[in-house]
A = this chain, B = another copy of it.
Amino acid sequence: MKLTELFTQPDPDFGQAMTALLETFHHSDDSQAPYERDSFVHQLDQSSMPATGISTQAYLERLATLVPGASHLTSPRYMGHMTAPLPAFTAELSRLLVMLNQNPMKMESSRLLSFLEREVLAKLHRLVYREDDAFYAAQMHAKDAALGVMTSGGTIANVTALWLARNRACGDNLFSLFEQGYRGAVILGSRLMHYSFDKGMDLLGLGARSVWRLDTDEHNRLSLAALEQALRQCKEQKIKVLALVGVAGSTDFGSIDPLPELAAIARREQIHFHVDAAWGGPTLFSPRYQGLLEGIDQADTVTLDGHKQLLVPLGTGMLLCRQPDLMMAVKREAPYAIRATSFDQGRFTLEGTRPANALYLDAAFQMLGRQGYAELIDANYDRARRMAALIEASPAFELMSAPVMNLLSYRCIPPHLQGKVLDEAANEEINAFNVALQKAQRAEGHSFVSRTQRAVSRYGEQSLTLLRAVLLNPLIEERHIRELLADQQRLGIEVARRLFG
């Protein structure tokens, strides 16, 4: 075959094979190809590429051995992952989006899709900040304005927020902080802040230790008393507070910090107020639940994540900016690519060349509509409450946080400790039990929750192993939840026998 034909002649077998692979994938779970590290290592141990290309047919055979080993994130018995099953149109839309291969860094390399990106960002801006028509008409496509930026994910969105906050405080040169008389710089937030903030502060040259993780209250929300104390301490020690971070949907509990109070404090102290709503942002679609995010419209910047509750593929984060001129604090240009006089979005994105994933959002916005998202949110949040009730009804489980959104923390209690008062030693046993149980369930592959390690107020400061359920898949029915809990009870008996005799 002439090499150029690879670019011009699609192989119809290939498309049919993808359909078949996906069909099988969607109707199976990890039990089809259990995770066995040694065999996975052995399966993929080639460090050389083939000298000459293999045929499409041969590659399809390879793919057929790879796909069963992927994680079956879309099974309705899988409630531990933060990625959504995607609307069916996404598969076909991906063909278009990938083959258009537009680069919205630059007008020249994406043209109309640059405008689409700005429109998508405006729609999300409006969801969060609810400005009026005149505001959006003036700002959406204005030159030195950005209602937000697209990023590859929530981490880069949070890093961009810190970058902005730092450059607002001291430009791009940290040493100028010293010239202003400061002895350090920190960000303040709860101990439940995402770990991307540590990465961000490391990257910014301030060190992960400059992320001050403050105490939370009994509802896993940032304690205002702890915050006020930290602010006093910063003043006394001449430490600059670059940003106050509010969490709107902690990854472990789905808890939401007291945003109106944080906004007021940030305003009083003139601190950049960032809200990480990577998980919780789309709650705003729901008339029933949107009140949970009251105060988010006072944030200087807000992180959203497409692949979570916005239901688009991985690789689509966003940072929204209340004030359209905020991004100018990190504006850059390059002679061959990003001209200062241009409208190029690349003037202020941390990333350079990147895919036009805004199209996925556009399709979902149009075909789901606000009401579609609201229905999905409501159903998921209701499911979490139903699951919490099932957990509370059984002595084999302990609910570790009341559901706020659709994230639940709980743990399994081994038979010999059910109904007992749990002291520190008992909790250590329960920790070991839940680690082993989660691993056993994952290995079996029929159902799945993830696990985390956190203190929970009723047990003081002791670090506890928690199981973490994410009710995101719209195809989850009550029977799936019951199956998952039944798997845990069954496996729990085996694990308890193994651990405790």
Contacts and interface: CB of A to CB of B under 8 A. Distances in A.
Interface in A71-129: 71, 73-74, 80-103, 107-113, 115-116, 118-119, 122-123, 125-127
A22 interface: yes
Contact of A366 (B50, B74, B356, B454): B50
A205 interface: yes
Contact of A202 (B9, B95, B332): B332
B109 A45 contact: no
B363 A199 contact: no
A171 B313 CA distance: 35
A15 interface: yes
A69 B103 CA distance: 13
A367 B49 CA distance: 10
Given A50-B365, A53-B369, A202-B332, 20 more contacts: A3-B368, A6-B89, A10-B88, A15-B91, A15-B92, A22-B100, A30-B111, A40-B115, A47-B119, A53-B366, A58-B366, A67-B100, A68-B112, A70-B100, A70-B113, A71-B111, A73-B101, A90-B98, A108-B450, A153-B354
A295 interface: no
Nearest to A33: B112
A423 interface: no
This protein's copies in its complex? 2
A21 interface: yes
Contact of A314 (B140, B198, B354): B354
A350 B66 contact: no
Nearest to A38: B141
B353 A82 contact: yes
B7 A86 contact: yes
Contact of A94 (B48, B98, B371): B98
Nearest to A466: B336
A195 B119 contact: no
Which interface class (under 10, 10 to 19, 20 to 34, 35 or more) fits A? Answer: 35 or more
A114 to B, nearest CB: 8
Interface string A1-44: 00110111111001100110110011000100101010011011
B115 A367 contact: no
A155 interface: yes
A337 B252 CA distance: 10
Contacts of A102: 70-71, 73, 314
A307 interface: yes
A256 interface: no
Contact of A35 (B111, B125, B208, B355): B111
A18 B96 contact: yes
B173 A92 contact: no
Contacts of A107: 35
Nearest to A375: B3
Contact of A315 (B126, B156, B205, B355): B355
A35 to B, nearest CB: 6
A364 B119 CA distance: 34
Interface in A362-412: 363, 365-372, 375-376
Given A53-B371, A330-B202, A8 B353 contact: no
A126 B48 contact: yes
11 contacts: A4-B474, A18-B95, A46-B122, A47-B133, A47-B136, A48-B126, A69-B112, A71-B103, A71-B113, A83-B103, A199-B332
A421 interface: no
Contacts of A115: 40-41, 43-44
A20 B10 CA distance: 14
Interface string A299-328: 000000101000001110000000000000
Nearest to A85: B7
A251 interface: yes
Nearest to A71: B111
B89 A163 contact: no
A137 interface: yes
Contacts of A315: 152, 315, 354-355
A432 interface: no
